[in-house]
Amino acid sequence: MSTIKEIIEGLFIGFSTTVGVVSTYQTLVSCAGLFRKKEAITHQPEKTFAVLVAAHNESAVIGPLIENLKQLDYPKEMYDIFVICDNCTDNTAEIVRAHGAYACERFDSTKRGKGYGIEWMLENLWAMPRQYDAVVMFDADNLVEKNFLLAMNDRLCKGERVIQAFLDSKNPFDSWITLSYAVTYWFTNRMWQLARHNLGLPNTLGGTGLCIESNLLKEMGWGATSLTEDLEFATRCIERGIYPTWCHDTKVYDEKPIDLKASMRQRLRWMQGHYDVAGRYIGSVIKNGLKARRLGMLDAAFYLFQPMYVLIVTLMSLLFVGRLFDWDSMPMATVLPEWLVYGSTALFYLLPILALYLEKVPLKAYLGLLLLPIFFLTWLPIFFYAFFTKNNQEWSHTVHTRAIRIEEMQ
């Protein structure tokens, strides 16, 4: 065996072992999502809420959301709706006022992006005469189930401080792109978020449909102005030992990009932000996790490592393809037992089907499973390009046009 073949074989063994260990861990954790205990609401309305809506030129969709929020099953005097009209050049603010919500207009061309808008809004909120027990955050294109504030009130009363609601799709069948998004979210909600909630591990925040205790925000400060402000704030919480939790019993519907170009632009922003946050926080999260002997912190570090893990899987796949040419006599070496590798692989492919079944999605949604491999391929150039452009923190706006009402979702 030549030296170059020995090096490649060594790399393949190292990569395959890393992938095998990580995949097995994730698959076993995901199995906890097969079970769901519905958490009954046991507390009457007690907490007051400031409902923040991030908006940039959202005149096409903001009206239905405000009407939706005004109809939540919660005492109207116990929550107020504030729309952050962030650098808007359309009539978003006028529509907000016409629908009876507070239009908070911000104009700052140097600090652009949702994270800066939220930070500005919170500073103004703390200076207002009325103070609120918690802050909930939505995007302008969202729709919200009517029990949202009841569910968040209950979780806050039970001592939870950072809560993420179930994220669903507002337009899953508009295109193959939106269906791929929807299937990904249905799987993630069940086999990542619910699974970790069941195991007492920290959940991730999804940028919308989240609730944060006001005292915690005042104590920590927002401080999340990266392209992925949700990941940054969640990581800062976990770094301090405060775990975001998951609420599977109320949903927020989010509009997904219809075409591939808009989708890739959105996902590139996500990945640039992810690499940025991972580079700044993964070391301290691992250090604090080892020091405190808390598996949850190490699990959060594993999530931060996810894009790098995908790059490793891709490299391993290229090495595997290379082995097919003239290297077929070389054994498929690995340090993991074959039964574990094949068993976890079988579960890996079965879990998405089970997730869709358990979430009772429409039958035609299963077609999305056939699209996932194609959708995954569109992620690969994003992972690579984002890695080399992670210092580019220029925010880009995703245009929303689907003015659907909550009654249509139900």
- Confidence (pLDDT) at 330: 46
Residues 62 and 195 in one domain: yes
Residues 354 and 229 in one domain: no
Task: Let me know if residue 251 belongs to a domain.
Answer: yes
What is the rounded distance in angstroms from the CA atom of residue 213 to the CA atom of residue 217? 7
- Confidence (pLDDT) at 261: 93
User: What is the 3-state composition of the chain as percent helix, strand, coil, each rounded to the nearest 5?
Assistant: 55, 10, 30
Task: Let me know if residue 268 belongs to a domain.
Answer: no
Residues 241 and 304 in one domain: no
Task: Let me know if residue 234 belongs to a domain.
Answer: yes
- Confidence (pLDDT) at 17: 73
CATH assignment at residue 228: 3.90.550.10
Residues 227 and 153 in one domain: yes
Phi then psi for residue 306, to 5 deg, are -50, -50
**The last residue of a domain, from among 224, 257, 290:** 257
**Once rounded to an integer, what is the mean pLDDT over residues 375-385?**
91
The two tokens of residue 213 are: 């205790």
Phi then psi for residue 285, to 5 deg, are -65, -45
Residues 129 and 71 in one domain: yes
Q: Which domain holds residue 321?
A: 3-34+282-388
Residues 291 and 351 in one domain: yes
**Once rounded to an integer, what is the mean pLDDT over residues 377-406?**
82
What is the rounded distance in angstroms from the CA atom of residue 220 to the CA atom of residue 205? 17
Residues 88 and 163 in one domain: yes
- Confidence (pLDDT) at 27: 87
Return all residues near 196 (Cβ < 8 A) that are at least 6 apart.
Answer: 29, 32, 202, 203, 246, 299
Nearest by Cα to 130 from 221, 219, 220, 214: 214
DSSP code per residue over 306-354: HHHHHHHHHHHHHHHHHHTTT-TTS----SS-HHHHHHHHHHHHHHHHH
Residue 223, SS3 per DSSP: coil
Return all residues near 29 (Cβ < 8 A) that are at least 6 apart.
Answer: 195, 196, 199, 201, 299
- Confidence (pLDDT) at 329: 47
**Once rounded to an integer, what is the mean pLDDT over residues 10-31?**
77
Phi then psi for residue 188, to 5 deg, are -65, -45
Q: Is the pLDDT of residue 101 over 90?
A: yes
Residues 202 and 57 in one domain: yes
Residue 261, SS3 per DSSP: helix
Of 352 and 345, the one with more pLDDT: 352
**pLDDT tens, residue by residue, 159-198:** 999 999 999 999 999 999 999 999 999 999 999 999 999 9
Give the number of other Cβ atoms within 10 Å of residue 113's Cβ. 23
Residues 229 and 291 in one domain: no
Task: Let me know if residue 39 belongs to a domain.
Answer: no
Q: Is the pLDDT of residue 142 over 90?
A: yes
Task: Let me know if residue 395 belongs to a domain.
Answer: no
If one counts the domains in the chain, the total is 2
pTM: 0.89
- Confidence (pLDDT) at 390: 85
The two tokens of residue 61 are: 């969709």
Residues 29 and 54 in one domain: no
Residues 102 and 169 in one domain: yes
The two tokens of residue 154 are: 């209950």
